[in-house]
């Protein structure tokens, strides 16, 4: 039995003149899946969403929604609802008219329209706002109405284009939870574009990290976080960012080490995808929380001495900056103990949680 | 430190000087400019309220000793424009007959043009737009004779329809530019949302875009009303003698050669002709400035 795909994108390319914006993309989104398209601005993530919505004509490839080829269909015939960053509420219409506009265009009977609005208003708790104009709503309320407009269309696929980027931090985290709850309740397929990695990591079933019109990695959030496929994904995901040291592979067959300057870090426990050849120039990456600070030296090959440069308390934990092999690295520690600049400590590495990248191709080894 | 000293230290909002040297300079310059531009109007109104004997005394700046409204009545009802002596009211109604359909027609077409060019880009739409704007820079004189021939072939030369069509065509470049720039400035996501909601070309235009476009329509009406009302050239060429607009009639009154020059009647007729754009400017100054800015700054 083949798994039912809600949205399939096959060999999708988009060119604006001679500029290639999307390059031969293939994505299969399962029914009910929450897929996040994540990437820096200009990576093509919003463009891809507009292509799925049918708001942009694609240059090549096919788009299937619910098994139906919608490549040439109008947006309204694709079975999608879309939520925009700027809410895009019709300013001269009341909330109720905003919600019902698409339904009235489709010529639905008034009773059915009433039912759907009541249903959406209940789910999103916007009942008391129905007779207001968008200008009289707060940002969070507006975004809720915008989600409601997608909801009343009773569609298979929800498309979100950076829906929370215009909100302040507090509202953003509140609505983030609400969107996740909504997804659990509706179990619709959702495709969500954002440049905010916290949103991506918290909401997604799978994340597609994009750069330069290409998907760098398409995986579940933990895999993306712990086993980034290349240097770009590794450096883009994670805040505070991953530490990188450039060095080379050394050591014997049974016990490979990563060598930088006069420091050897054992790679025992690292799941390499290919044999590690000695002399190979590599980049050793490790997240600030995957390294520990200790007063005692750890087992040989797993620890080194370092000098504290700076201590940044961040509330729940602190970020300690140290110098290793002439490079600044950060370590996330419990905020209970403060470190003084110049203090000598020992770092304990955890190779199992580290990442090794080829220095030339920047791909994971 | 003593308390008396600290009270003299800067604290709170900075005191504002009521009349600084700079503002005195600015206001006096503005006053001089205002007087300079108002003097002709003053002279015209004063002259139009005097009888001919008083005018002959030559004191053009002095107010009338004996106020008379007879010149205004004459100008409106019985001043001679060439062969006919029915006053300038004929021209007023002709101008209205030209103005109303021209303004409505040109704004309807230009708003749809602007909307299509901003939201429904088609292959070559930029070229089309450039060509349209280029039209605004070609001197009218170049196009007059061909247009005379074309309208004659169409059978609308020397008719009301003819002059309305000409005004509509010549309003197109600037109005399309105006509307396109306005629609481009509206959030594109509104248009996308309406498309996802299933609305088509006309529904998006009529139900989403139009209700948001009142300011630019006001600007367009102002531009067209003042422009078409003040037009002389197209009126005299394309409207035909029966439909001469007010500006042409005014010229015929003022420049008539036989008899005594009735300055008071001429002044009254001129003020009457200028009243429409003057009132439009007066009541819509804010929108008018906005229209100029919209046409000039963005492009």
pLDDT-derived band at A325, boundaries 50, 70, 90: confident
The answer to whether residue B81 sits within a structural domain is no
pLDDT of residue B257: 65
CB contact under 8 Å between B190 and A90, yes or no, is yes
| Burial status of residue A22 (CB atoms within 10 A of its CB: 0-12, 13-18, 19 or more) | buried
Q: What is the 3-state secondary structure (H, E, C) of A144-161?
A: HHHHHHHHCCCCCEEEEE
Same domain, B34 and B159: no
Nearest CA in chain A to B214: A92
| Burial status of residue A15 (CB atoms within 10 A of its CB: 0-12, 13-18, 19 or more) | middle
Count how many domains chain B has: 2
Chain A contact probe: residue of B122, B189, B196 with most A CBs at under 10 A: B196
CA gap A337, A345 in Å, rounded = 13
Q: Residues 153..192 of B with a Cβ closer than 8 Å to A: which?
A: 187, 189-190, 192
Same domain, B56 and B128: no
Same domain, B64 and B95: no
Average pLDDT, integer, range B122-143: 86
Average pLDDT, integer, range A239-247: 91
Query: Which pairs count as long-range contacts for B237-241, CB under 8 Å and 24+ apart, including other chains?
Result: B237/B144, B237/B148, B238/B147, B238/B148, B238/B151, B238/B157, B238/B158, B238/B162, B238/B163, B238/B166, B239/B94, B239/B98, B239/B158, B239/B159, B239/B160, B239/B162, B239/B163, B240/B157, B240/B158, B240/B159, B240/B162, B241/B158
Which of A226-240, B184-198, B271-285 has the lowest average pLDDT?
B271-285
Range of the domain at B218: 90-296
pLDDT-derived band at B57, boundaries 50, 70, 90: confident
A279-322 pLDDT, tens digit per residue, is 889 999 999 999 999 888 878 778 888 899 999 998 889 999 99
Domain boundary among B38, B68, B98: B68
CA gap A259, B249 in Å, rounded = 97
Same domain, B62 and B99: no
Residue A57 to chain B, least CA–CA distance (Å): 12
Same domain, B199 and B253: yes
Same domain, B31 and B120: no
Chain B contact probe: residue of A47, A78, A102, A191 with most B CBs at under 10 A: A102
Contact residues, chain A, for B211 at CB < 8 Å: 92
Q: Which of A84, A88, A102 sits opposite B198 (nearest CB)?
A: A102
Residue B126, domain CATH: 1.10.3720.10
Touching check for A92 and chain B: CB below 8 Å?
A: yes
CA gap A194, A214 in Å, rounded = 16
CA gap B81, B241 in Å, rounded = 11
CA gap A307, A342 in Å, rounded = 6
Which of A37-46, A188-197, B161-170, B257-266 has the lowest average pLDDT?
B257-266
Contact residues, chain A, for B203 at CB < 8 Å: 105
pLDDT of residue A120: 92
pLDDT of residue B297: 43
The answer to whether residue B77 sits within a structural domain is no
CA gap A280, A269 in Å, rounded = 19
Touching check for A16 and chain B: CB below 8 Å?
A: no
Kindly list the structural domains of chain A, giving each domain's residue range(s) and its CATH number in brackets, ordered by start. 5-236 (3.40.50.300), 243-358 (2.40.50.140)
Chain A contact probe: residue of B186, B192, B197, B215 with most A CBs at under 10 A: B197
B29-50 pLDDT, tens digit per residue, is 999 999 999 999 999 999 999 9
pTM of the model: 0.82
For the cut 50, the answer to whether the pLDDT of residue B1 exceeds it is: no
pLDDT-derived band at A1, boundaries 50, 70, 90: very low
Same domain, B50 and B124: no
Same domain, B251 and B151: yes
Contact residues, chain A, for B192 at CB < 8 Å: 50, 53, 55, 75, 82, 84, 88
Same domain, B252 and B207: yes
pLDDT-derived band at B164, boundaries 50, 70, 90: very high
Same domain, B123 and B207: yes
CA gap B173, B178 in Å, rounded = 9
Nearest CA in chain A to B208: A90
Mean pLDDT over each residue of chain B, to the nearest integer? 87
CA gap A117, A149 in Å, rounded = 9
pLDDT of residue A266: 87
Q: What percent of chain A has pLDDT over 90?
A: 61
The answer to whether residue B51 sits within a structural domain is yes
Report how far apart, in Å, the C-alpha atoms of B269 and of each of B10, B53, B74, B228 are. Answer: 61, 19, 9, 18
pLDDT of residue A2: 46
For the cut 70, the answer to whether the pLDDT of residue B2 exceeds it is: no
CB contact under 8 Å between B212 and A92, yes or no, is yes
A25-66 pLDDT, tens digit per residue, is 999 999 999 999 999 988 999 999 999 999 999 999 999 999
CA gap B76, B271 in Å, rounded = 11
């Amino acid at each position: 039995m083949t798994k039912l795909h809600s949205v399939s994108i096959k060999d999708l390319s988009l060119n604006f003149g001679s500029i290639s914006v999307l390059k031969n993309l293939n994505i299969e989104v399962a029914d009910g899946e929450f897929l996040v398209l994540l990437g820096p601005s200009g990576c093509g993530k919003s463009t891809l969403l507009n292509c799925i919505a049918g708001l942009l004509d694609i240059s090549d490839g096919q788009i299937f929604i619910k098994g139906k080829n919608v490549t040439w269909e109008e947006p309204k015939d694709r079975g999608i609802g879309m939520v925009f960053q700027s809410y895009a509420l019709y300013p001269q219409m009341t909330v109720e008219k905003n919600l019902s506009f698409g339904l009235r265009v489709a010529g639905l009977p008034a009773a059915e329209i009433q039912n759907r609005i009541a249903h959406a208003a209940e789910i999103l708790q916007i009942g008391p706002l129905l007779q207001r104009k968008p200008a009289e709503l707060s940002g969070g309320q507006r975004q809720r109405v915008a989600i409601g407009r997608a909801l009343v269309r009773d569609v298979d696929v929800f498309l979100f284009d950076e829906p929370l980027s215009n909100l302040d931090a507090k509202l953003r985290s509140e609505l983030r939870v609400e969107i996740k709850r909504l997804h659990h309740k509706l179990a619709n397929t959702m495709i969500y574009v954002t440049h905010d990695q916290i949103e991506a990591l918290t909401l997604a079933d799978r994340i597609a990290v994009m750069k330069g019109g290409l998907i760098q990695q398409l995986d579940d959030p933990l895999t993306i976080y712990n086993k980034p496929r290349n240097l770009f994904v590794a450096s883009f995901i994670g805040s505070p960012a991953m530490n990188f040291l450039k060095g080379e592979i050394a050591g014997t067959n049974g016990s490979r080490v990563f060598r930088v300057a006069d420091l050897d870090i054992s790679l025992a426990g690292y799941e390499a995808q290919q044999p590690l050849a000695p002399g190979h120039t590599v980049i050793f990456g490790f997240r600030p929380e995957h390294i520990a600070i200790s007063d005692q030296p750890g087992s040989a090959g797993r620890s080194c001495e370092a000098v504290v440069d700076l201590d940044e308390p961040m509330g729940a934990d602190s970020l300690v900056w140290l110098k290793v092999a002439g490079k600044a690295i950060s370590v996330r520690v419990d905020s209970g103990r403060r470190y003084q600049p110049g203090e000598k400590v020992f770092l304990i590495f955890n190779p199992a949680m580290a990442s090794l990248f080829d220095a030339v191709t920047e791909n994971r080894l | 430190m003593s308390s008396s000293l600290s009270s003299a230290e800067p604290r709170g909002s900075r005191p504002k000087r009521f009349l600084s040297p700079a503002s005195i300079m600015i206001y006096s310059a503005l006053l001089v400019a205002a007087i300079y531009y108002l003097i002709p109007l003053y002279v015209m109104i004063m002259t139009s309220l005097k009888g001919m004997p008083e005018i002959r005394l030559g004191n053009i700046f002095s107010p009338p000793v004996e106020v008379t409204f007879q010149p205004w009545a004459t100008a409106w009802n019985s001043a001679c424009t060439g062969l006919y002596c029915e006053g300038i009211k004929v021209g007023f109604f002709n101008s209205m007959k030209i103005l109303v359909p021209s303004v409505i027609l040109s704004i309807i077409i230009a708003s749809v043009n602007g909307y299509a060019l901003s939201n429904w880009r088609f292959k070559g739409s930029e070229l089309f737009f450039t060509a349209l704007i280029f039209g605004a820079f070609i001197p009218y004189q170049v196009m007059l004779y061909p247009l005379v021939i074309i309208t004659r072939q169409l059978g609308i030369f020397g008719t009301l329809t003819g002059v309305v069509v000409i005004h509509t065509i010549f309003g197109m470049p600037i109005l399309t530019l105006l509307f396109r720039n306005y629609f481009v400035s509206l959030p594109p996501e509104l248009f996308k949302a309406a498309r996802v909601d299933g609305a088509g070309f006309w529904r998006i235009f009529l139900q989403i875009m139009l209700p948001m476009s009142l300011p630019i329509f006001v600007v367009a009406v102002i531009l067209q009303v003042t422009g078409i009302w003040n037009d002389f050239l197209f009126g005299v060429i394309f409207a035909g003698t029966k439909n001469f607009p007010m500006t042409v009639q005014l010229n015929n009154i003022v420049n008539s050669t036989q008899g005594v020059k009735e300055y008071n009647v001429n002044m009254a007729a001129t003020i009457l002709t200028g009243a429409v754009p003057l009132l439009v400017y007066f009541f819509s100054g804010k929108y008018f400035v906005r229209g100029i800015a919209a046409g000039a700054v963005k492009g």
